[in-house]
Structure 1
Amino acid sequence: MALLEVNHLDVHFALRKGDVHALRDINFTLERGERLGIVGESGAGKSVAAFALLNLIAKPGFIAGGEVNFEGKTLNTMSERRLRKVRGNRMSMIFQDPMMTLNPVLSIGEQMIECLKAHRRISTKRARAIALDKLQQVQLPSPETRLAQYPHELSGGMRQRVIIAIALLLDPDIIIADEPTTALDVTIQAEIMALLLNLCEQHNVGLILITHDLGVVSQVTQRMLVMYAGRVIEQGPTREIINDPQHPYTQGLINALPQMATPGEQLNQIRGSMPSLSNLPGGCAFHPRCDFIKRADGQTRPACVEQVPGFVTSGNCQVACHMVAEMQEDRRLKEEGQ
């Protein structure tokens, strides 16, 4: 049994004009110590998925269907009291903006001690010693001094190290990192990601990394999910997807990386933009932006416009694309003909 299992997860937001489907039929697993990346453009549903795992979807959002199982126990049907024993304790989250996460009127030490005492019966002295140890683990300079400082007295990189230390305070089994380096300089981003990867490996902690940066995902994760308009459209081993992407959207994301463009020429980009979740196109949600919607004979694939694609297996990956399914069927017929 996997440490974390997500089965047919649906998240809706109740609006006056009707429910908006933010996540549709999300399925994946995470083993102990495994590193999973979730990638996609803004609006793909990555952060909603992260909040849904911890049952932190705020109203008017709600989990409309499916299950999030942690060690065989369903989190989305747990009472708030039982859920508190999992949140922060067994599953921690690193949010995008450390200034929004840290309390500006409490010192770093007070916040870390408060977190420990909320989950464990522990003395203040012992809690302070644990907090100091975690700050040392994340290589924060002068950790004794930092305990007495307030968030505004630290740089962005230091604040993010504090957030990682807080996530590690209770020795969790899973860390969910939602765009953990968004507000940082490029050099600091690399340091933070290397630190997070090293700590997860040392403590055998499962990592769910949510980002739009395929370069980071390729270096840090073992498996990845590619999301588009609230659905997973490709999933499998990271190296396999990066080296041989099957879905046209994944191909577009990789081709949009700066290193894929010819020096001096315009960067590659996916035409159009992510559709509104309240007005999704029929069939495959990506079809208005897809360069492969037409067959070799110039005719549009009717299925792309009319049917939501199911998953087909390609190598070790699962791909939700009518074109891939059609190519596999053509290949099978040719082999049978021989």
Structure 2
Amino acid sequence: MALLEVEDLSVRFTLPGATLEAVAGVSFRLGRGECLGIVGESGAGKSVLGFSLVNLLAPPGHIASGRIRLEGRELTALSERRWRGIRGRRMAMVFQDPRATLNPVLTVGQQMRETLRAHRRLSRRLARKMVLHQLHQVGLDEPERQLERYPHQLSGGQCQRVVIAMALLLDPDVIIADEPTTALDVTTQAELVALLIALCRTHDLSLIVISHDLAVIQQLTQRVLVMYAGRVVESGPTREVINDPQHPYTQALIDALPQMYPPRAPLRPVPGSPPAPGVRPTGCAFHPRCRYRVAADDDLRRRCEGDPPALIPSSGSEVACHWVAQLIDHEMIHSAQVHDEPLD
């Protein structure tokens, strides 16, 4: 049984006169010790999905349908009181902006001890010992000195290490890291990626990494979900998805990477912009930006513009694309014709 199971999850924001769907029918499984990536442009629904997994959606956002199970236990119907027993203890979140996560008027030690004592009855001495241990685990220099410092006295990388240490304090099974390397310099990013990899191995920790950075996803994760306009458009083993992308959107994201081109060569950004939740196109939401739709025949173009594609198996991954589905159909027909040819 998977540690975490998400089935057909949809998240909506109910506003006066409109209901906006930010996440639509997302499903995945996460095994113990597994690292899963969620990638896509801003507005794809990645962070909303992450917040929904730990029930941190602020009104008017809410889970409209679907299931979230942790070791078989259904979480979506839990009361807020019961969620407090899950959040932090079983599932923890590392937020995108570590400075905004930390309270500016409390020292690092005060905040970390507060996190511990909210869930466990501990003496001040034992709480301090556990806090120092976790700061040492995340590689923070001079942890005893850092306990007495305020967030503004720390660098961005140090703040992120403190936030990760806070997430690890209660020894959770799952950590959701939302853009963990954003706004960090390249060296600090590399150190943080190495730290997360080491923590997953030593703690048998399951990790969900939300990012727009494919390089981070490639280094950290074994499997990846590619999201666009609230839906999963491709999923599969990270290596296969990045080396052999099946969906036109995944291909466009990889083609836009600067390292794909020689120095001074022009870049190839994804044309257009992602749709806002309230004005998403019918059919495949990516079709206004898709280069394959232009080359498609009239029947296929009508399908792209009118019918939302379902996820289908393709080259070891799953992809939601009518173009790929048509190619698979043609290959199956051709294979059957070759197989049926009489032998000489």
Instruction: For 2:45, give the aligned amino acid.
Output: G
Q: Which residue of 2 aligns with 1:66?
A: 66
Instruction: Map 1:1-338; keep pairs closer than 5 Å.
Output: 1-295=1-295, 301-338=301-338
Shift of 1:261: 2.0
Shift of 1:298: 7.9
Shift of 1:268: 1.1
Shift of 1:315: 2.5
User: Given the superposition, is the C-alpha separation of residues 297 and 229 from structure 1 closer, same or farther in structure 2, using an over 3 Å criterion?
Assistant: closer
Which runs of 5 or more residues in structure 1 are unaligned?
none
Instruction: For 2:110, give the aligned amino acid.
Output: E
Separation in structure 1 between the aligned mates of residue 184 and residue 298 of structure 2, nearest angstrom = 46
Runs of 4+ in structure 1 deviating by more than 2 angstroms, as ranges, are 294-301
Separation in structure 2 between the aligned mates of residue 9 and residue 297 of structure 1, nearest angstrom = 33
Separation in structure 2 between the aligned mates of residue 185 and residue 116 of structure 1, nearest angstrom = 31
Separation in structure 2 between the aligned mates of residue 296 and residue 178 of structure 1, nearest angstrom = 37
TM-score by length of 2: 0.96
Instruction: For 1:197, give the aligned amino acid.
Output: I
CA RMSD for the aligned pairs? Answer: 1.1
Separation in structure 1 between the aligned mates of residue 17 and residue 258 of structure 2, nearest angstrom = 40
SS at match of 1:26: strand
Deviations 1:243-275 (A, max 9, x none): 100000000001111111232121111100001
Deviations 1:42-69 (A, max 9, x none): 0000000000001111001110000111
TM-score by length of 1: 0.98
SS at match of 1:281: coil
Shift of 1:205: 0.3
| 8 Å CA contact retained: 1:312, 1:320 | yes
SS at match of 1:85: helix
Q: Identity over the aligned pairs, expressed in percent?
A: 57
| 8 Å CA contact retained: 1:41, 1:274 | yes
Deviations 1:174-216 (A, max 9, x none): 1100001112111111111111111111100000000000011
| 8 Å CA contact retained: 1:261, 1:268 | no
Deviations 1:265-319 (A, max 9, x none): 2111110000111011111000000000144668752110110001110122110
Which runs of 5 or more residues in structure 2 are unaligned?
339-344
| 8 Å CA contact retained: 2:300, 2:322 | no
User: Given the superposition, is the C-alpha separation of residues 55 and 263 from structure 1 closer, same or farther in structure 2, using an over 3 Å criterion?
Assistant: same
Shift of 1:123: 1.0
| 8 Å CA contact retained: 2:8, 2:25 | yes
Shift of 1:131: 0.1
| 8 Å CA contact retained: 1:94, 1:176 | yes
Q: Which residue of 1 aligns with 2:342?
A: none
| 8 Å CA contact retained: 1:294, 1:300 | no
| 8 Å CA contact retained: 1:93, 1:175 | yes
Instruction: For 2:102, give the aligned amino acid.
Output: L
Separation in structure 2 between the aligned mates of residue 115 and residue 227 of structure 1, nearest angstrom = 33
User: Given the superposition, is the C-alpha separation of residues 298 and 306 from structure 1 closer, same or farther in structure 2, using an over 3 Å criterion?
Assistant: closer
Separation in structure 1 between the aligned mates of residue 114 and residue 66 of structure 2, nearest angstrom = 34
| 8 Å CA contact retained: 2:90, 2:172 | yes
